[in-house]
Amino acid sequence: MTSDQSAGDEVYRISGAGRSLSDDVSARTRRYLISMAVMAVRTACFIGCVVSFVVLKNVILGWILFAGALLLPYVAVVIANGPRQRTAPVPTATLLDPRQSLPPRSDPTNSP
């Protein structure tokens, strides 16, 4: 550490920055749309369950559709509330002593 550097100097890298707000909003929108599609399938399962039990008298299909209508909201909530994608931590940079540099280039055209 040199005398002209304070102990609090920290190096920041752009690769260590989080996702932009627009990327985050678009990812949330995509998850929301997927969640709504899952809920639409759940509604279809519920209607199919009622039709299967009452109209078709098919008990096996009715129970399968009932299980789908029961479990799909859980899947939709897990997708909608999923955590933000985490970026891998970037290693911190090391500040080198400015005196540790390459020597000046010797120019062969200016040799005496």
Nearest alpha carbon to residue 21 among 108, 74, 84:
84
pLDDT in tens, the chain (112 residues): 444 455 556 666 666 667 788 888 888 888 888 888 988 999 999 999 999 999 999 999 999 999 999 999 888 888 777 766 665 555 555 655 666 666 677 776 765 5
Q: Which sequence spans correspond to the domains of the chain?
A: 41-82
Rounded Cα–Cα distance for residues 97 and 99 (Å): 5
Q: Taking the model in full, what pTM does it have?
A: 0.56
Cα separation, 22 vs 60, in Å, equals: 46
pLDDT at 1: 47
